[in-house]
Amino acid sequence: MSFFNTATLALEFAATLVEGVSDEGFTTGMAAIGAGLAMIPGVGVGIGQGKIGAEAVAATCRQPEAKSDILQTMIIGMGITETAAIYGVVIAFVLIFFS
């Protein structure tokens, strides 16, 4: 069975599933799924910020005299990393409240 036959069958099956669903209900459901998917970057942000903090502590232990430079770089890095989570939250709110 080719990819296109499988895709066609999947689309036909999906069409039969949503026959009884209203347009408003379908839109609301898809917006909720999209909002959930928009929150996935939050996991990566948490992991990234933990790594940034751990590396900053390790660097400070190796060179205590460079603490202020390390702290400054860490804060800038965390701020840049946090923007991914903020974008995800904004997209989720837009999908939930304006769809």
Q: What is the pTM of this model?
A: 0.65
Overall domain count for the chain? 1
Q: What are 81-96's pLDDT values in tens digits? A: 999 889 989 998 998 8
Provide the residue range defining the domain that includes 27.
Answer: 22-97
What pLDDT does 54 receive? Answer: 95
Phi then psi dihedrals of residue 14, to 5 deg? -65, -40
Q: What are 32-42's pLDDT values in tens digits? A: 888 989 888 88
Instruction: Pull the structure tokens for residue 51.
Output: 């790594």
User: Which of the residue ranges 12-16, 28-32, 55-59 has the most confident prediction, judged by mean pLDDT?
Assistant: 55-59
CA distance 51 to 34: 28
Report if residue 5 sits inside a domain.
no
pLDDT classification of 65: cutoffs 50, 70, 90: very high
Report if residue 10 sits inside a domain.
no
- Assign residue 41 the CATH number of its domain: 1.20.20.10
Q: What is the chain's mean pLDDT, rounded?
A: 86
CA distance 41 to 94: 16
